[in-house]
Amino acid sequence: MSRRTLKLGAVLLGVGGPGQHGTWLDPGIPADASVDIRWYIARARQAEAAKFDLVFIVDSQFITENSPNHYLSRLEPLTLLSAVAVHTSNIGLVGTITTSYNEPFNVARRLSSLDHISSGRAGWNVVTSGDAGTAGNYSRDEHYDYATRYGRALEHIRVAQGLWDSYESDAFPRDKESGVFFDATKQHRLDHKGEYFSVVGPLNLERSPQGQPVIFQAGDSEEGRDLGATVGEVIFTHAATLAQARAFRTEMRERAAAKGRDPETVLTLPGIHVVIAGTDDAARAKEDALLGTKSFDRALKELGRPFGWHDFTQHDLDAPFPDIGDAGQRSFRTQANAIKKLARDNDFTLRQVVEHLTGSARSPFVGSPETVADTIQYWFDEGGFDGINITVNAPAEFALFTDRVLPILRERGVVRSEYESTTLRGNLGLPVPENRHTAARLSVPAS
């Protein structure tokens, strides 16, 4: 099999996600970008012109007055992507949907609709919701514990996949001459009764162009990695060093293989932060300036998020990192535990933790277009990732990547020159899942 090209994702974060406090002030960004569909359409078209594989929309459903700017007021992912779908033709459309506060029938229907509307470009970033406060918006007293979150997630995905097989691909002849609209033998109930869901089916929507939308996964805990290895086709992650990136990708491939899957069908895409200027020095200076736009007070407040929005402003900044018990164990537990360990291992005060977290945001992908292209290619060649996710804020900055870095990588054959396909699966090189009922019928020998 010839080697795949580097896969490219664009994370559309309008007026700034976590830690991006000054992003919205950029003159190139409309101050209402997070709710302006024209901004999303324009960015998706910009990414599509550069032959990106996908645009990715992050999501959460619980905010406080301290949430990142983009999170304070934003469009619902699948509604947004349906609008983007009709203004684009090749780029994949990946939306975040939580399995903790949705029913599988509803999710399967909405994603299959997006796959139809986009002619085969839908992807589902499966999350279990890190923000424990979401429970309060869904008539629950508290968020699920980890075992329940991930147990529900796996069953949820399996049910959705079962519903996507409700109709075989030739179930609708729609032949006006013979008067045959559909073939009832090609329609199948699911009759699922599990630990968390009971779903009879069938789904009231025929098989979509990709057969099943692509499953993306982004949980980092043991439970999250297990889910990714079981059903994830693309794994979103973060990577600070090449060694860390390679270890994660190797682990996910091995875990998938141990479950009987072909590791080539599990792609790892970390989010990376690129800062590009004419020279390496100029790019470093630009990164310094960007880091300087972070507000310490805002970062202190945002630190509460992984801990279930614990209020850190009540603690002495120069005392040892406070003992806040098990706050966050139902939220972003993995992240919360990593921050506690960082404080413990280094004897950090609260102030030092905040400073370390804002300062450690320095990226390995900073430099001239040649330097950034070389670094990306090196990490790719060394097995650090199958693709990258680039956060898109100011269009002019994104253009530096698409117009200055990508041509170098294209010239070297690292990224594609033309789309291979009009579907997300086709461009990612992922197989179309066979319809289970068709497969079962075909495997029965004719008598």
Ligand X SMILES: Cc1cc2nc3c(=O)[nH]c(=O)nc-3n(C[C@H](O)[C@H](O)[C@H](O)COP(=O)(O)O)c2cc1C
Tell me how far apart the alpha carbons of residues 287 and 146 are, in angstroms, rounded to a whole number: 37
Asked if 275 is part of the footprint of ligand X (rule: CB under 6 A), the reply reads no
Q: What amino acid is encoded at 247 in this protein?
A: A
427 scored as a contact of ligand X (CB under 6 A): no
Question: C-alpha distances in angstroms, 133 versus 64, 129, 143?
Answer: 10, 9, 7
C-beta of 238 vs 298, nearer to ligand X: 238
> What's at 129, amino acid-wise?
S
According to the binding rule CB under 6 A, does residue 238 interact with ligand X?
A: yes
DSSP 8-state secondary structure symbol assigned to residue 172: -
Question: Binding ligand X by CB under 6 A: which of 99, 118, 128, 349?
Answer: 128
3-state helix, strand and coil shares in percent for the chain, rounded to the nearest 5: 45, 15, 40
Q: Which of residues 1-60 bind ligand X (CB under 6 A)?
A: 58-60
127, 132, 153, 406: which one binds ligand X (CB under 6 A): 127
SS3 (DSSP) at 328: coil
The residue (of 146 and 167) whose beta carbon lies closer to ligand X is: 146
Binding residue (CB under 6 A) for ligand X from 99, 210, 268, 334: 334
Residues 6+ apart with CB under 8 A from 379: 242, 245, 385
| Residue 302 binds ligand X, judged by CB under 6 A | no
Question: Is 129 one of the binding residues for ligand X (CB under 6 A)?
Answer: yes
In angstroms, the first-to-last Cα distance of the chain is: 37
Q: Does 78 help bind ligand X (rule: CB under 6 A)?
A: no
Identify the three-state secondary structure at position 42: helix
Binding characters for ligand X, 80-119, by CB under 6 A (x = yes)? ----------------x-----------------------
Residues binding ligand X: number (CB under 6 A): 21
The distance of closest approach from Cβ of residue 404 to ligand X in the complex, given in angstroms and rounded to an integer, is: 25
219 binds ligand X (CB under 6 A): yes
> Residue 215 is encoded by which pair of tokens?
């499953």
CA 312 to CA 349: how far, in whole Å?
12
Residue written as token pair 């995905």: 157
Angle between helices 77-85 and 104-117 (to 10 degrees): 20
Of 127 and 406, CB closest to ligand X: 127
CA atoms of 227 and 160, how far apart (whole Å)? 15
Binding to ligand X in span 402-421, by CB under 6 A: none
Span from 46-54, 152-160, 234-242, 315-323 in contact with ligand X (CB under 6 A): 234-242
Binding to ligand X in span 189-218, by CB under 6 A? 218
Tell me which residues touch ligand X (CB under 6 A): 58-60, 96, 127-130, 218-221, 223-224, 236-238, 271, 332-334
